[in-house]
Amino acid sequence: MTSVSDILRTMDYGPSPESPAPVNQWLSAHGMRFGHFIGGQFVAPAAGEYFGVFNPATEERLALVAQGGAHDVDQAVAAARQALPAWAALGGHQRARHLYAIARHLQKHARFLAVLESMDNGKTLRESRDVDLPLAVRHFYHHAGWAQLLASEFPAHEAVGVCGQIVPWNFPLLMLAWKLAPALAAGCTVVLKPAELTPLTAIAFAQLCVGVGLPAGVVNIVTGDGDTGAHLVRHPEVHKIAFTGSTEVGRMIRRASADSDKKLSLELGGKSPFIVFDDADIDAAVEGVVDSIWFNQGQVCCAGSRILVQESIAERFGAKLRARMQRLRVGDPLDKSSDMGAIVDGVQLQRIGQMVAAGRAEGLACWQGALEPPACGHFFPPTFLENVPAAHPLAQEEIFGPVVVSMGFRTLDEAVALANNSRYGLAASVWSENVNVCLTVAAELLAGVVWINGANLFDAAAGFGGYRESGFGREGGREGMHEYLVPKWLRTASALEEPESARLHPSAHPEPTAALAAQPIDRSAKFYIGGQHTRADSGYSFGVRSHGGALLGHAGLGSRKDVRNAVEAAHKASGWAKTSGHARAQVLYCFAENLAARADCLVAHLRAMDAISEAAATRQFEQVLERVFHYAAIADKNDGSAHATLTAHVTLAMNEPFGVVGLRSPAQSALLSALSLTLPLLAVGNRVVLIPPAHTALMFADLSQVLDTSDVPDGALNIVFGDSDDLAEVLALHDDVAALWYFGPAAGATRMRAASAGNLKSVWAQSRHTDWTAPEQAQGGEYLRHACQVKNIWIPYGE
């Protein structure tokens, strides 16, 4: 018999199982068969098809769930559309009361939902009970507050409309809460598709919605596989898609939604660095690894799966981690003594095993924790591979399992370079007792979330989302609310059409005209790249004509190589992003001063292009100057914020520039619109490759001469002429362009969205008419939000 002293000496503990009886009773009460939740009631699938849902720890079937088809999705969208006007008109306070009721009912049924989640997903009860459920509740409470404050905090916005939401299998109920809560708070209605492997807590949530009296059709849940999700993404009456899942599926969604104006937010894969400096608390960092990669069996998109450890402590750190790993218990998810549960299904288990086996076959040092072979279920031991080369697939590809790799570094700069050596950019964890080191590294990391001396910290008040191929958009906090809102004026704006005069008319051998021959000196506009006036690489040019068709001169015809040169020049101007807001403001004020000195020239261009009076052209030019002053004023005031999160942290939301941004400006009010778009990008520190309308080339050539005398750093703004849509598509395809703004016809917007699917850059495509003279439409917060990506940095405070 084990004595008390033995227990205290070994710190061993026995099993502590949770009974599945309440869940089994619930399943039995419904005949272990569930339909879709549409229009406030459960309905059978139109095709009568069902699929099995299994417990990954026992491989036993839990239930049969409806397989959704096109007709089921149509019915759910129709129910959401029918419910939308009344729900949006209900008012923030009434919506807040509904969200509050949902939060309270989640709390009342928390134990049942936690057990159901663990049985459905395989995660340990400790995690579903102590992490997932409290966070889900927190999201509904937090967003009840945003519903209450919507009119005062977002006065110029309204609900985007019907939202299609697709959630993954790793956090089924929590991801449902992350997406549903802000959508409902904003006044949207929702069609949600849970993951095929883990739909049961979403079904239980649907019953809860009935219990709290949520109006029918506000929340609809359609279960099914990837085809069901594809029907939802392509549905023409869905106004917004929010997806969390793999990067590859994210690309498919980007392509499938390219021909529509749907808002899109993607939270995708990650390969997050876990950086340990030599002055870190090593024991705390080891526990951080446990919380980061072995939490939820490593099936976490932001898991710290790449350990970067300073070489001077690498051996000691590795020894401590191996010892700690051996004490982890892998077993029954309903046993409260288990540290790790089951992998979600056999296919995922096989993939993890194959990737680890490949690493071992190549001679990588591999350590694994103890795992007693289970009689059934999908289990995998905690795994640690040391000294893995930075370019190895195990260090580059998302494994999505309890597998972590490590590599060494010597200096801070090397650590940052290794951390950023990834196509992903979701999260990062930095460990050091030196706050200067932590914050220096946090500023350099290409990641949407950075935890200082911590890992896997989440809260409804803090935005979550990635950089690069980890997706775009944010969930949580103020920034997450904007994903479900649109400017009110945009709802009634007409489709954008560009005049024939704005189109490119290239000619290898232009015929001379009397008007052109009468000019004292031939006029040929050059590009503006890296602070230099350069000729087209192709050697071709095109004619620049007035509104009436008269040939005014020629301009170089831009090509892929000219765009490449402009992007390279923009990257060399990276110092612009590190310049203070005050310094950027002074440059913009100087630009306005020199622009005013060229008023006569630019007014003449406006008259010739648009066939408008001198008075109208002068008014437009004065608005240009006012807009420059506006963004000069904004440059040192585009503040971030400190989020009020639950834990003892200062959670900083930092507005960071994307980097190099491509911009295709519209033909309407060409000078005013181009600068209305360029200036917010420059004001916050981006570098810009501008593609203005072809017929404005002579005007923008003169504008580049103003840039020469305005202290704008070489490469901060580059201008290339040619076929606007062809050149914009090159920017969309370019992997070193971080974001693209496209303001033009709908057909072009479709091209840009589709072209960006390969690299998943953020694309702001606007194909609605904008009144560029109206400040409420043409300047302000909407432009600044699209000019930045928000990085949330969690800093311990007052612990």
The catalytic position among 117, 196, 267, 782 is: 267
Binned at pLDDT 50, 70 and 90, residue 373 comes out as: low
Going by C-alpha positions, the residue among 423, 395, 302 that lies closest to residue 736 is 423
Residue 747's SS3 state is helix
Cα atoms in the Cβ-side hemisphere of radius 13 Å centred on 373 = 1
Q: Torsion-angle region of residue 136: left (phi > 0), alpha (psi -120 to 50) or beta?
A: alpha
What local confidence, expressed as pLDDT, does residue 509 receive?
46
What does 239-269 look like in DSSP terms, one character per residue?
-EEEEES-HHHHHHHHHHTTTS--EEEEE--
CA distance 347 to 400: 12
Residue 97 lies in a domain: yes
Residue 667 lies in a domain: yes
Q: Are residues 287 and 244 in the same domain?
A: no
Domain annotation covers residue 309: yes
Domain membership flag for residue 644 = no
pLDDT higher at 740 or 5:
740
Q: How far apart are CA 591 and CA 631, in angstroms?
A: 11
Q: Residues 469-494: pLDDT tens digits? A: 999 999 999 999 999 999 999 988 88
> Quick one: 79 exposed, middle or buried, by C-beta within 10 A (0-12, 13-18, 19+)?
buried
Are residue 219 and residue 316 in the same domain, yes or no?
no
pLDDT at 523 over 80: no
pLDDT digits (tens, 9 = 90+) for 317-328: 999 999 999 999
Beta strand 532-534 with 541-545 is: unpaired
On whether both 142 and 244 belong to a single domain, the answer is: yes
Pure H helices in 330-463: 346-361, 393-396, 412-419, 435-444
Q: Is the pLDDT of residue 513 over 60?
A: no
Q: What is the pLDDT of residues 727-762, one digit of tens each?
A: 999 999 999 999 999 999 999 999 999 999 999 999
Whole-model pTM over 0.85? yes
pLDDT above 50 for 312: yes
pLDDT-based confidence at residue 229 (cuts at 50, 70, 90): very high
Q: Rounded CA gap, 563 and 737, in Å?
A: 11
Question: Do the beta carbons of residue 474 and residue 480 sit within 8 Å?
Answer: yes
The CATH number of the domain where 391 resides is what? 3.40.309.10
**Residue 112 predicted with pLDDT over 80:** yes
The answer to whether residue 267 is catalytic is yes
Is residue 298 assigned to a domain?
Answer: yes
Are 209 and 318 in the same domain? Answer: no
pLDDT of residue 515: 46
Specify the pLDDT at position 569: 98
How many residues are listed for the chain in this entry? 799
Q: For 299-315, what is the mean pLDDT?
A: 96
Question: Residue 756: inside a domain, yes or no?
Answer: yes
CATH number at residue 734: 3.40.605.10
Pair 281, 414 in one domain: yes
- Split at pLDDT 50, 70, 90, the class of 512 is low
Q: 180 burial class (0-12, 13-18, 19+ CB within 10 angstroms)?
A: buried
CA distance 455 to 305: 11
User: Are 792 and 464 in contact, with CB atoms under 8 Å apart?
Assistant: yes
- Domain carrying residue 93: 35-53+62-268+480-487
User: Same domain, yes or no, for 706 and 739?
Assistant: yes
Would you list the DSSP string of 76-105?
HHHHHHHHHHHHHHT-HHHHHHHHHHHHHH
Both 338 and 297 in a single domain?
Answer: yes
Are residue 262 and residue 372 in the same domain, yes or no?
no
Q: Could you tell me which of 546, 636, 632 has the C-alpha nearest to residue 594?
A: 632
* 124 domain-assigned: yes
Residue 142 near residue 106 (C-beta atoms within 8 A): no
Same domain, 246 and 323: no
Per-residue pLDDT for 597 more than 90? yes
Query: Structurally, how many domains does the chain consist of?
Result: 3
CA distance 600 to 605: 9
pLDDT of residue 737: 98
Phi, psi angles (nearest 5°) of residue 431: -120, 115
The pLDDT > 90 percentage for the chain reads 87
Mapping DSSP onto H, E and C, the string for 481-545 reads HHHHEEEHHHHHCCECCCCHHHCCCECCCCCCCHHHHCCCCCCEECEEECCEEECCCCCCEEEEE
d(CA 425, CA 314): 24
Which of helix, strand or coil describes residue 619?
helix
In this prediction, residue 501 carries a pLDDT of 63
CA–CA gap between residue 790 and residue 678 (Å, rounded): 20
Mean residue pLDDT of the chain comes to 93
Convert the pLDDT of each residue in 149-187 to its tens digit: 999 999 999 999 999 999 999 999 999 999 999 999 999
Give the number of other Cβ atoms within 10 Å of residue 71's Cβ. 12
Residues 209 and 345 in one domain: no
My answer on whether 699 and 562 are in the same domain is yes
Give the mean pLDDT of 617-621: 93
Is residue 191, in this structure, part of any structural domain at all? Answer: yes
| Residue 467 contacts residue 268 (beta carbons within 8 Å) | no
> Both tokens of residue 224?
């099914």
Phi/psi of residue 552, nearest 5 degrees = -100, -25
What mean pLDDT do residues 507-515 have? 49
Clarify whether residues 215 and 243 are in a common domain. Answer: yes
DSSP 92-141: HHHHHHHHHHHHHHHHHTHHHHHHHHHHHH---HHHIIIIIHHHHHHHHH
Task: Indicate the residue among 435, 457, 487 that finishes a domain.
Answer: 487
Phi-psi label, residue 430: left if phi above 0, alpha if psi -120 to 50, beta otherwise: beta
Q: Name the residue with tokens 């000294």.
A: 387
**Helix ranges (DSSP H) in 212-339:** 226-234, 247-256, 282-293, 314-325
- The token pair at 409 is 């570094």
- Mean pLDDT, to the nearest integer, of 46-58? 97
Q: How far is CA 247 from the centre of its chain?
A: 11
